């Protein structure tokens, strides 16, 4: 299988390069926008407290400096000197303090760590892009909680720099950049090196009747070297964690004068202010993740190549627990009009079932750069991602329920993954001096097949018959060109154009044939769209260290496989597919005012995003007939949404006193549903999961060359989680609370090779629900060795 993947990458890469060289797509962007270079880190950005941090970071991405505002898009950069103050166990931890960005990381090692940037909320996962060494980590097969980037394909311990681009203002990126793009670059060894990390963490978890300390650990080891022109790097990352229960179960409740001998649980209300009784939770989440990484780089005089292999092996388990006990103290797993403390409710143990996840993924990537002449460069990227195994086995009831007979369901991903590739050619001084051109092509092919089986033995994984099935393919081909001009004095300008052709194919979903009462697969229609997206940016430098830049762009975000073809029926909910779903149509503007400081900058961004046909899962309740009262959901576009916002960013080294570095940002967002014919009563509602205010603080003080301390904070105002804006109760499961979380970290260099750190997140032990409960006070201990 491995040889087949290598052959596939070689063939696609060869064809891409040949096709571009044979065409007149000669292009460039300013040197700051895309080069495989050796980055020279500014002396002021070297981490004072980590002697082992190299002064030269060898990465294979574009050259960046800490003050760079971004030529086409507003941009934020994280270097090792910034990362030192973050309690980072997994990759997504590193970006959680960046402006206008939120990571829904429910626990350490969460497989559903979704991302939201600017006007894209944390469930609009197809509106953000994440790359590591040019390899996509974003997951465009599914959306919402299932569409989180595959963060674990890169370890936090190997990252050299992270940049965040905001909005789709560069022609190099398609409509999936409506929110923004995260580009991660890892270090490439230039000499023999060995690294080892050991991290341990523990959390004081408490919510409803759950009250336990849960803990975990991470181990990381890597080895790399450079032999003549060949660089190689191998690493192993293991994460093992027990996390707090993620779901708390409740049943509709009413008052009663009856008496009962049973105890446990609690009466209350849910996020929509409905009377409920909280009777249990889904149990501690025990997860293990192993990541194996190989990077091989080769450099000749006029070309460079980087091969990247990442393999993920992940498993997780959780079994629910009931809070209800009988007179003898035994747990109760079902109740019919049970009364406790004057509250009547009914439930069974289907919500307390047992769940086991087994997942294996393989990602192969190849980056190639060729200097065709002094002014012309070619860069190619190709990626093959395959879900080798992704199976979730769940029981129908709690295994200890007397009514349980071993049956359940198995969810299985079959023949799913993607292939992506792009080639860009860059030219400096195109036709005349100070005009540069960036141009290229990109291909993306996604395939998803998801089957749900009934089983008589969920633990053995026996698959009997289909419960539901859906899948299909999407394909995107794009060509883009972007002209950049600067007079080297007061003005610069960018003019870009992106043409995209999208097609869905081989779509299918299951439905019951009522004549024979059997499940059948139904072919879904295909769609094809062709869209052109213009981009324009103009910058003015009114005085030394000042910059005013205005950017405007159109963007189209095409639907993903799940949004087109997902269809199922389970219990009291039905999801209907929508294979004719149109792309989201975005109009984006950004006005930036930037002032460079000695060792930093102050920046203000005013942004406006208007999205027509915004894809959302909309729901209605069926009235009458056999499905009376059933919740019917489908991906239906909101006719128009509008987001207005303002960002204030202050990043500065040596603030007030030598050794104190500060990163502070604050964002105001006004997001509304302005038109919606499917549910007109929602017009004027606040867009879900979009806080009006959010702010982040990351500060680090170097006490001396060996010791630093950091204090950080995250704030977000209260939000709605539902389009209906009817979830009005806070501090309950399902709510979307405001939060103010403080953190601390201190790191000490024991010697040139060994360093230790201690940290705390959620210092005040705040209980916060963002639908699920976020971690409470968590203490970290870390020991790192670098040779």
Instruction: Report the SS3 class of residue 158.
Output: helix
Which bin fits 48, alpha (ψ -120 to 50), beta or left (φ > 0)? alpha
Q: How many residues does the chain have?
A: 787
C-beta of residue 153 within 8 angstroms of C-beta of residue 310: yes
- Assign 568 a pLDDT band (cuts: 50, 70, 90): low
**In the numeric block, which tokens belong to residue 45?**
């950005």
Query: Is the domain of 569 the same as that of 628?
Result: yes
Percent of the chain with pLDDT over 70: 88
Lowest-pLDDT choice from 459-463, 477-481, 589-593: 459-463
pLDDT score at 72: 79
Decide if pLDDT at 169 tops 60.
yes
- Assign 21 a pLDDT band (cuts: 50, 70, 90): very low
Query: Is the domain of 183 the same as that of 36?
Result: yes
Which value, to the nearest 10 degrees, does the dihedral of the CA atoms of residues 482, 485, 486, 492 take?
-60
pLDDT tens digits, residue range 406-425? Answer: 999 999 999 999 999 999 99
How many domains, in total, are found in the chain? 2
Residue 212 CB neighbours (<10 A): 12
Which is more confidently placed, 599 or 283?
283
pLDDT tens digits, residue range 474-504? Answer: 999 999 999 999 888 899 999 999 999 999 9
Decide if pLDDT at 3 tops 80.
no
Query: Is the domain of 608 the same as that of 701?
Result: yes
Decide if pLDDT at 656 tops 90.
no
C-beta of residue 180 within 8 angstroms of C-beta of residue 558: no
- Which strand ranges, in their side-by-side order, compose the sheet holding 180-186? 75-78, 159-166, 180-186, 128-132, 135-136
CA dist 595 and 149 (Å) reads: 33
Provide mean pLDDT across the span 669-682: 94
Q: List 301's β-bridge partners, or say none.
A: none
Query: Is the domain of 132 the same as that of 196?
Result: yes
Query: Is the domain of 487 the same as that of 536?
Result: yes
Q: What are the φ and ψ backbone dihedral angles of 44, each rounded to 5 degrees? A: -70, -15
Q: What are the φ and ψ backbone dihedral angles of 95, each rounded to 5 degrees? A: -105, 5
Query: Is the domain of 209 the same as that of 274?
Result: no
The residue among 562, 615, 577 whose CA lies nearest residue 448 is 562
Residue range of the domain that includes 410 = 2-247+282-319+353-786
Query: Is the domain of 259 the same as that of 304?
Result: no
Decide if pLDDT at 782 tops 80.
yes
Query: Is the domain of 644 the same as that of 525?
Result: yes
Decide if pLDDT at 323 tops 90.
yes
Query: Is the domain of 159 the same as that of 95?
Result: yes
pLDDT tens digits, residue range 523-551? Answer: 999 999 999 999 999 999 999 999 999 99
CA dist 534 and 616 (Å) reads: 25
- Assign 173 a pLDDT band (cuts: 50, 70, 90): very high
Place of tokens 């690493």: 235
Query: Is the domain of 269 the same as that of 194?
Result: no
How buried is 217 (Cβ within 10 angstroms: 0-12 exposed, 13-18 middle, 19+ buried)?
Answer: middle
Query: Is the domain of 292 the same as that of 273?
Result: no
Handedness of CA 62, 68, 69, 71 (dihedral sign): negative
Q: Tell me the residue ranges of DSSP E strands in 622-762.
A: 631-652, 660-675, 693-702, 707-716, 739-749, 754-761
Query: Is the domain of 227 the same as that of 341?
Result: no
Q: Of 352, 373, 402, which residue is a domain's last?
A: 352
3-state SS, 548-574, equals: EEEEEEEEEECCCHHHHHCCEEECCEE
Residue 756 belongs to domain with CATH number: 2.40.170.20
- Average confidence score pLDDT of the chain: 88
- Assign 618 a pLDDT band (cuts: 50, 70, 90): confident
Q: Give the helix/strand (H/E) hosting 531.
A: strand 528-540
Lowest-pLDDT choice from 161-175, 595-609, 610-624: 610-624
C-beta of residue 65 within 8 angstroms of C-beta of residue 42: yes
CA dist 696 and 501 (Å) reads: 39
């Amino acid at each position: 299988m491995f040889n087949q993947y290598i052959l596939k990458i070689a063939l696609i890469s060869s064809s891409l390069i040949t096709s571009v060289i044979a065409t007149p797509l000669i292009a460039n962007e300013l040197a700051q926008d895309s080069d495989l270079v050796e980055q020279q880190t500014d002396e002021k950005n070297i981490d004072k407290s980590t002697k082992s941090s190299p002064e030269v970071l060898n990465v294979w991405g574009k050259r960046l400096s800490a003050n760079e505002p971004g030529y086409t898009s507003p941009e934020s950069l994280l270097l090792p000197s910034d990362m030192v103050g973050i309690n980072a166990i997994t990759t997504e931890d590193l970006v959680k303090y960046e402006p206008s960005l939120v990571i829904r990381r429910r626990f350490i090692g969460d497989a559903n760590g979704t991302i939201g940037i600017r006007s894209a909320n944390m469930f609009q996962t197809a509106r953000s892009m994440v790359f590591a060494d040019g390899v996509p980590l974003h997951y465009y097969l599914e959306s919402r909680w299932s569409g989180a980037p595959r963060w674990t394909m890169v370890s936090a311990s190997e990252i050299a720099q992270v940049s965040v681009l905001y909005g789709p203002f560069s022609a190099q990126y398609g409509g999936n950049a409506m929110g923004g793009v995260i580009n991660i670059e890892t270090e490439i060894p230039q000499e023999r090196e060995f690294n080892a990390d050991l991290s341990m963490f523990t959390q004081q978890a408490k919510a409803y009747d759950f009250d336990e300390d849960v803990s975990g650990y991470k181990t990381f080891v890597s080895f790399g070297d450079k032999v003549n022109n060949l660089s190689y790097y191998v690493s192993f990352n293991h994460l093992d964690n027990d996390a707090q229960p993620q779901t708390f179960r409740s049943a509709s409740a009413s008052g009663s004068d009856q008496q009962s001998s049973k105890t446990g649980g609690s009466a209350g209300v849910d996020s929509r202010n409905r009377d409920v009784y909280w009777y249990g939770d889904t149990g501690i989440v025990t997860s293990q993740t192993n990541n194996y990484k190989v990077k091989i780089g080769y450099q000749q005089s006029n070309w460079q190549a980087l091969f990247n292999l990442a393999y993920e092996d992940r498993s997780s388990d959780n079994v629910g627990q009931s809070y209800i006990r009988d007179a003898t103290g035994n747990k109760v797993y079902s109740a019919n009009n049970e009364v406790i403390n004057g509250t009547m409710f009914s439930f069974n143990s289907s919500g307390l079932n047992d769940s086991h996840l087994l997942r294996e993924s393989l990602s192969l990537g190849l980056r190639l750069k060729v200097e065709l002449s002094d002014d012309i460069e070619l860069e190619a990227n190709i990626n093959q991602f395959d879900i080798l195994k992704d199976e979730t086995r769940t029981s129908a009831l709690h295994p200890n329920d007397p009514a349980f007979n071993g049956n359940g369901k198995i969810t299985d991903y079959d023949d799913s993954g993607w292939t992506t590739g792009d080639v860009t050619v860059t030219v400096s001084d195109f036709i005349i001096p100070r005009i540069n051109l960036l141009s290229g092509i990109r291909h993306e092919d996604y395939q998803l097949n998801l089957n749900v089986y009934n089983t008589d033995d969920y633990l053995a994984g026996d698959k009997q018959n289909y419960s539901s099935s859906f899948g299909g393919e999407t394909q995107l081909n794009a060509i883009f060109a972007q002209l950049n001009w600067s007079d080297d004095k007061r003005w610069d300008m960018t003019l870009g154009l992106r043409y995209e052709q999208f097609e869905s194919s081989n779509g299918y979903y299951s439905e019951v044939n009522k004549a024979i009462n059997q499940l059948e697969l139904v072919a879904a229609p295909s769609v094809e769209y062709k869209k052109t997206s213009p981009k324009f940016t103009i910058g003015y430098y009114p005085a030394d260290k000042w910059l005013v830049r205005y950017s405007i762009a159109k963007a189209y975000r095409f639907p993903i496989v799940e949004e087109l073809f997902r269809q199922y029926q389970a219990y009291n909910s039905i999801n209907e597919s929508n294979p004719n779903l149109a792309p989201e149509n975005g109009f984006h503007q950004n006005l930036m005012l930037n002032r460079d400081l000695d060792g930093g900058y102050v920046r203000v961004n005013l942004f406006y995003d208007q999205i027509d046909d915004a894809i959302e899962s909309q729901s209605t309740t069926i009235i009458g007939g056999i499905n009376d009262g059933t919740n019917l959901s489908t991906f239906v576009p909101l006719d128009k949404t509008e987001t207005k916002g303002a960002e204030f960013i202050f990043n500065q080294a040596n603030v007030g006193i030598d050794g104190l570095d500060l990163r502070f940002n604050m964002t105001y967002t006004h997001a509304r549903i302005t038109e919606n014919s499917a549910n007109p009563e929602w017009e004027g509602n606040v867009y879900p999961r979009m806080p009006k205010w959010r702010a982040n603080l990351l500060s680090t003080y170097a006490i001396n060359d060996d010791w630093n301390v950091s204090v950080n904070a995250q704030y977000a105002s209260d939000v709605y989680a539902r389009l209906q804006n009817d979830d009005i109760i806070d501090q309950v499961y399902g709510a979307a609370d405001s939060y103010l979380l403080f953190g601390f970290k201190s790191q000490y260099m024991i010697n040139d090779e060994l360093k230790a750190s201690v940290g705390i997140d959620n210092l005040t032990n705040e209980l916060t629900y963002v639908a699920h409960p976020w971690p409470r006070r968590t203490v970290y201990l870390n020991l790192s060795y670098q040779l």
